[in-house]
């Protein structure tokens, strides 16, 4: 979506077709685990504004089954997409198919076990909550799982969250933040079970699901949401001559092949900043990479390299967690404002003496104002001092 | 150019402040304040970027 909007904004006046396997008009995903479940928003409230009034041909509910890159377009680029019995010729292609939620193996037949990725997933869960379910089991204490848990608690549902690691979000945000997040969820009545997995899920005779947990306990849940990560949606690209390895592997300008770019969750590209191939699943990245991919299509190889600072937020209970740049257990960290005890804290992260991240819990001002220093990579000491002075 | 924020929707993510601090400020009380209701034309690109990057789609420009 953002690539299409950027193409038009940057002066591309040629034909532009958007194909999507889903039948819905483009919608914003963050509310799916929050406002849509709490009932504050309905499906009609979350339309993607950047899609409004865009001069494109929509082909919604049209999964693409294959790509033939035959070089029939200008400069040996281009090819055609196969979507059902239709073929669509292109000169340039933006791959932005995102990712699909991972499922627990062997649970496809269980009607009360689902994921939360699409509008249909969210509406199904909301309908279940509306119908008065009493217990929800969430498998995986990642961002989606924790947001779903918080929203369901707000609706008065009993929530059990199981997580195989020792802290929620610990791998991404470090154990201090993870421990804080765990406390906050427990304070809001979430039954959070760490270092615990699901051994089996079976349909219960009385309806719902019986879950056997790795700690030996058995719980009954009316509904189960599995939030154990995603898998880039690249199956349709098999045989297209692209490098597929945990996403569409691109160069530093998001180019995957002549006339082919990738953006969003599906794109994996070498980030100079991170010093490795990265794939980012954040909302802000969908915009930034979409716009960069569009520029790459229009500008060709002279396009700027793509190397932004990642940014995300997550709202859970009364916590707004935001991170610009990088955090994690392997980095130096320093509290620069507030404290975990007062539920309002900003933490600076450094690597090799350089500021690489700023995390805020209910501290949006610090995260926003330090974004520039994180982007330019000031020294960790200077970054800590600057953040303390805010 | 007139900047309009839907404060019922705004959640003070402060992305707009990071992009256009001349126009938007989230203060220590965690509320967003619009510093310039009618910013000069030279800030248009920044304000438009703030509109696009607002996680709540809470900002509009009225010309």
pLDDT in tens, B43-56: 999 999 999 999 99
CATH number 3.30.390.30 given to A318-388:
yes
CATH topology of domain A103-228: FAD/NAD(P)-binding domain (3.50.50)
Residues of chain A in Cβ contact (below 8 Å) with chain B: 2, 5, 28, 30, 49-50, 283-284, 287, 311, 313, 315, 320, 322, 324, 362, 364-365, 367-369, 371-372
For range A302-315, the mean pLDDT: 96
For range A321-349, the mean pLDDT: 96
Total of domains in chain B:
1
pLDDT in tens, A219-267: 999 999 999 999 999 999 999 999 999 999 999 999 999 999 999 999 9
Q: Does B4 touch chain A (CB under 8 A)?
A: no
Taking each helix axis from N to C terminus, what angle separates A2-9 and A283-299, rounded to the nearest 10 degrees? 40
Query: What is the pLDDT at residue A103?
Result: 96
Distance from the B32 Cα atom to the nearest Cα atom in chain A, whole angstroms:
10
> Order of strands, edge to edge, in the sheet holding A79-83?
A66-68, A79-83, A86-90
> Order of strands, edge to edge, in the sheet holding A354-361?
A311-316, A319-325, A354-361, A344-351, A332-339
Query: What is the pLDDT at residue A123?
Result: 98
Could you give the C-alpha distances from A18 to A46, A54, A61, A256, A265, in angstroms and in order? 19, 11, 11, 19, 17
Distance from the A308 Cα atom to the nearest Cα atom in chain B, whole angstroms:
13
Q: Do A368 and B15 touch (CB under 8 A)?
A: yes
Under the banding of pLDDT at 50, 70 and 90, the label for residue A71 is: confident
- For residue B19, the domain's CATH number is 3.30.70.20
CATH topology of domain A2-21+62-100+231-302: FAD/NAD(P)-binding domain (3.50.50)
Of A145, A123, A124, the closest CA to residue A41 belongs to A123
Structure tokens at A210: 């019986």
Distance from the A123 Cα atom to the nearest Cα atom in chain B, whole angstroms:
20
pLDDT in tens, A88-127: 999 999 999 999 999 999 999 999 999 999 999 999 999 9
Optimal mutation site among B18, B45, B48, interface A, most CBs of chain A within 10 A:
B18
Q: Do A283 and B55 touch (CB under 8 A)?
A: yes
Query: What is the pLDDT at residue A335?
Result: 97
The pLDDT mean for chain B works out to: 95
pTM score, two decimals?
0.96
For range A366-390, the mean pLDDT: 96
Cβ contacts below 8 Å, chain A against chain B, sum to 46
Residue ranges, comma separated, of all CATH 3.50.50.60 domains in chain A are 2-21+62-100+231-302, 103-228
Query: What is the pLDDT at residue A76?
Result: 82
Distance from the B38 Cα atom to the nearest Cα atom in chain A, whole angstroms:
22
Q: Does B57 touch chain A (CB under 8 A)?
A: yes
The pLDDT mean for chain A works out to: 96
Distance from the B54 Cα atom to the nearest Cα atom in chain A, whole angstroms:
9
Number of H helices, E strands in chain B: 2, 4
For residue A322, pLDDT beyond 90: yes
Q: Do A372 and B18 touch (CB under 8 A)?
A: yes
Which of B14, B52, B57 has its CB closest to that of A368?
B14
Q: Does B9 touch chain A (CB under 8 A)?
A: no
Tell me the residue range of the domain where B11 lies: 2-62
Contact yes or no for A321/A181 (Cβ under 8 A): yes
Taking each helix axis from N to C terminus, what angle separates A143-154 and A175-187, rounded to the nearest 10 degrees? 20
ipTM above 0.90, yes or no: yes
In this structure, the dihedral spanned by the alpha carbons of residues A140, A246, A289 and A326, taken in order and rounded to 10 degrees, is 50
Residues B9 and A53: their CA atoms lie apart, in Å, by 22
Structure tokens at A100: 């699909």
In the 3-class helix/strand/coil scheme, how is chain A assigned residue by residue?
CHHHHHHHHCCCCCCCEEEECCCCCCECCHHHHCHHHHCCCCHHHCECHHHCCCCCEEEECCCCCEEECCCCCHHHCCEEEEECCEEEEECCEEECCCEEECCCCCCCCCCCEECCCCHHHHHHHHHHHHCCCCEEEEECCCHHHHHHHHHHHHCCCEEEEECCCCCCCHHHHCHHHHHHHHHHHHHCCCEEECCCCEEEEEECCCCCEEEEECCCCEEEECEEEECCCEEECCHHHCCCCCCECCCEECCCCCEEECCEEECHHHEEEEECCCCEEECCCCHHHHHHHHHHHHHHHHHHHHCCCCCCCCEEEEEECCEEEEEEECCCCCCEEEEEEEECCCCEEEEEEEECCEEEEEEEECCHHHHHHHHHHHHHCCEHHHHHHHHHCC
DSSP B63: -
Buried b (16+ CB within 10 A) or exposed e, A109-148: ebebbbbbbbbebbeebbebbeeebebbbbbbbbbbbbbb
Query: What is the pLDDT at residue A90?
Result: 96
Residue ranges, comma separated, of all CATH 3.30.390.30 domains in chain A are 318-388
Q: List CB contacts (< 8 A) between A26 and chain B.
A: none
Contact yes or no for A76/A258 (Cβ under 8 A): yes
Q: List CB contacts (< 8 A) between A2 and chain B.
A: 52
């Amino acid at each position: 979506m953002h690539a299409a909007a950027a193409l038009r904004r940057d002066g591309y006046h040629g034909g532009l077709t958007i194909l999507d396997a889903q039948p819905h008009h483009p919608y914003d995903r963050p509310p799916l685990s929050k406002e849509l479940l709490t009932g504050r928003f309905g499906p009609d409230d979350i339309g993607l504004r950047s899609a409004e009034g865009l001069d494109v041909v929509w082909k919604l509910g049209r999964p693409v089954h294959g790509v033939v890159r035959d070089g029939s377009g200008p400069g040996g680029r281009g090819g055609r997409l196969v979507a059902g019995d239709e073929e669509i010729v292109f000169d340039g292609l933006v791959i932005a198919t995102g990712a699909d939620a991972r499922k627990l193996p062997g649970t496809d037949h269980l009607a009360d076990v689902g994921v939360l990725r699409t509008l249909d997933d969210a509406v199904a869960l909301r309908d279940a909550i509306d119908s008065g379910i009493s217990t929800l089991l969430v498998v995986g204490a990642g961002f989606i799982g924790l947001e779903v848990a918080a929203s369901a608690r707000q609706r008065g549902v009993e929530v059990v969250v199981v997580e195989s690691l020792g802290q929620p979000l610990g791998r991404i945000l470090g154990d201090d933040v993870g421990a804080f997040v765990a406390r906050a969820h427990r304070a809001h009545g979430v039954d959070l079970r760490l270092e615990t997995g699901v051994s089996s899920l079976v349909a219960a005779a009385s309806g719902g699901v019986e879950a056997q947990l790795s700690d030996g306990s058995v719980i009954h849940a009316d509904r189960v949401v599995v939030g154990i990560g995603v898998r880039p949606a690249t199956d349709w690209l098999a045989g297209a001559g692209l490098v597929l390895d945990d996403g569409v592997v691109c160069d530093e300008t998001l180019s995957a092949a002549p006339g082919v770019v990738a953006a969003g969750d599906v794109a994996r590209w070498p980030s100079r900043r991170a010093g490795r191939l990265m794939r980012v699943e954040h909302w802000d990245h969908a915009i930034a990479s979409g716009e960069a991919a569009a520029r790459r299509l229009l500008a060709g190889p002279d396009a700027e390299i793509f190397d932004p600072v990642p940014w995300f937020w997550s709202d859970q209970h009364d916590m707004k967690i935001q991170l610009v740049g990088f955090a994690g257990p392997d980095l130096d960290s320093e509290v620069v404002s507030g404290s975990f005890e007062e539920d309002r804290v900003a933490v600076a992260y450094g690597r090799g003496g350089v500021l690489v991240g700023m995390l805020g819990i209910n501290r949006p001002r610090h995260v926003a104002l330090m974004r520039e220093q994180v982007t330019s990579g000031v020294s960790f000491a200077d970054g800590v001092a600057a953040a303390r002075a805010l | 150019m007139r900047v309009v924020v839907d404060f019922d929707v705004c959640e003070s993510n402060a992305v707009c402040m990071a992009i256009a601090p001349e126009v938007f400020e989230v203060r220590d009380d965690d509320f967003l304040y619009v510093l310039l209701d009618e910013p000069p034309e030279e800030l248009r690109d920044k304000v438009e970027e703030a509109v696009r990057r607002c996680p709540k789609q809470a900002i509009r420009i009225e010309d």
